[in-house]
Structure 1
Amino acid sequence: MHIARKYKNCHVTGITMSPTQKEFIEQQCKIHNLTNVEIKIADITTHEMEDKYDLVIVVELIEHLKNYELLLRKISNWMTPDGLFFIEHHCHKTFAYSYESLDEDDSFT
């Protein structure tokens, strides 16, 4: 939302698995009269797209996955050659966060 407000000429695409999060963001966009935001509901581990982005920001995702290399390779395919990448990663110096996928064939977890 901050980027969409500050840079009115850019197009912001968000990906979430949460329908309620999508609805909340879309409501906020209406309140703030933002027409440059698109929110998609998708599973990042299977989502494919041909669009290219100048900036990719990943928030509250990587700690749920074990195969970082596959995720980063996928994201790099979505970026322009000079694109910027920011990733936020919650971690602990002693205790690992363990997330087990329900799907044993999921190569990301």
Structure 2
Amino acid sequence: MRNTTATPRFLTLALALLLALGGLVGPTSAAAKSGDYLRKDLRKEQQAISQSRAAALVKQRFGGKVLKVQRKQSGDRLVYRVKLLQDSGRVRQVTVDARTGAIIGG
């Protein structure tokens, strides 16, 4: 005579094993996707001008003293916000496209 309690127990163990293995696939896929984003961000950074270059461009165009440079994301564009103290005493904020070096605001 066959033991009928072994079959449900086996099915329960098999199901638990499948669920556990399925959980391993999800995080791997998510990690791969986040890796894609990291690589994309790295490519953007490699194409960008430096903060010091952005500061030099602004200083050359407007004169004065650079107070602060911050790299920011503006929509789909990476920019530098350069805060400048002009010779007139006026504080000015200038936006520079981090990829091209073009002054786009300020």
| TM-score, normalised via structure 2 length | 0.24
> Which of the two has greater helix per residue?
2
Bigger relative contact order, structure 1 or 2, given CA contacts below 8 A and separation 6+?
1
| TM-score, normalised via structure 1 length | 0.24
> Which of the two has greater strand per residue?
2
